[in-house]
Structure 1
Amino acid sequence: MAQAAVFELGAHTLIYSEESLERGLQGIAQAGFSCVGLWPEHEGKPIISSQPDSAEALRLRRRIDGFGLTPVLMFAREGAMEDKNKLLADLDLCAAMGLPFLQAIGPWPFVSGQERKPEMRWYAEVEQFLSTLVQGAELAAERNVTIVVKPHRGATATGADIVDVLARVDSEAVRACWDAGNIRYYEGLDSEEDLECSGIAPLVRAVCIKDHIGAKGDPNFPVPGDGQVDHARMLRTLAGAGFRGPLLTERVDQETAEASDQALLRARRFLDTVVEKLADTDIAR
């Protein structure tokens, strides 16, 4: 029998990136979520300065607390995975705000679309990414922050690719964030099979909840529960591997903030149902 696991239900403010941060926090709170992942820009502007002091970080934390939400994760800002100083700024911000996770992705081998970068440029970018992660691991550990790398094509395309990256970094401060929708959309793979067969499940510390319909490259991301991702199977696998962390809904793909509100409410109710059914089998809470 798998050990009981606790899943924290939340959402990413990315869903409301064209709105103010406050509007996004409002929608996530009203949908009944308890935690939140932060997108660094809203309405085309950064939500905080590039090198914030502790007072500015505290003010941002208080804005989030005011909605009854606990921030648990932030997307790494532009350039953070290529520049040690930018990564350090992100880690310091996470530490100052009490965020346990900084989410990152690896480099892509494509200039745009399917046009590949010259091979030596691509190899150099991968080496820089790995070097930054190795340096960042020590800095993250000192700040009690975990860098979580998620599937997003290129160097972190699949579960097996991320397992390889984490083995090369070899640090408890760098782990994985699972994203089943990206596995299906970018790679055209069965995301649950990839999760089970790649060996990544014990390394997952956070999850992006994202559904998908269609073949590889079809940009169809419905409300979680309406697509092809088997969330129950996914969470059963993660719980069985000892997962204890946040489930953050990342996409619901609606045209208005009001429609996103309703879609997030449906997503939260769906996830509640999945988790409750797992609890009945003593696999999750």
Structure 2
Amino acid sequence: MTFLTVATGALTYGVKEGMGLFSFMNHTMFRDMKVFKEVHELFSNVLMAVIFAHIAGVLLDKFLHKSRALESMVDGYKIGNEEGVKLTWVQKAFGVVAITLSLFAFVYMLLSPNSLLIADGNQKMDYAKENPAFYKECISCHTLYPPFLLPSKSWVSMMDTLQNHFGDDASLDAATTESIKAFLVKNSAETSTKESSMRILASLDKEKTYLAITETPFWKNRHKEIDKAVFKRADIGKPSNCKACHDNIENGLLNNRDIKPI
């Protein structure tokens, strides 16, 4: 049961967030992430039930039957019907090695966030190469927002109204406008395998067109516990300045580990 819980957890981590041993599965099975999550939760709950049942059994045996089962788990000594039974040196050595390896693995993952078990399988995007016009025109004025943060109709509406781009005239020539629009639509939230994209899409009112990421219900919910005064700090300025807190957002990465402490 422990193995199944760990295995399904690793699968869920890979499919859902594109990280860890199974990160390669994110691109092909991300739409089934809910199934993996539910299976993992099932095994986790069963494992917890087994653990509690085991603890209850040990305590019952200890206090009701006056056995030394609890002590046996610590010292490895158990009294049988005729004589005491002790662990052999091989069994003890196996136990020590198993515990040592478990502790080593835990420390390794804790100190090495890019270890194979929890490494980020998402590659940084080089938007300057992907679409030079998008990179040049957008980053010159504000954070370079990854296209997967909004649905295609939002990008189309935004690119069609550049003459009034949040109060500024950001008009471009027709060829550049169409190039950027096509790139944004091609890489919009609907085409992304990222968990954030799916959650953004799920949160939207289908009758509305959102022109700002900070207007989406998902963004508001994720940032609702942050004091509004934080966004007014000199090093942040406004809620839309995502790169102030998200180190790699301009490279298309939105991982919790990249969030700067505020």
Instruction: Give the alignment's TM-score, normalised by structure 2.
Output: 0.26
More strand by share: 1
Task: Compare relative contact order (CA 8 Å, sep 6+) and give the higher one, 1 or 2.
Answer: 1
Instruction: Give the alignment's TM-score, normalised by structure 1.
Output: 0.25
More helix by share: 2
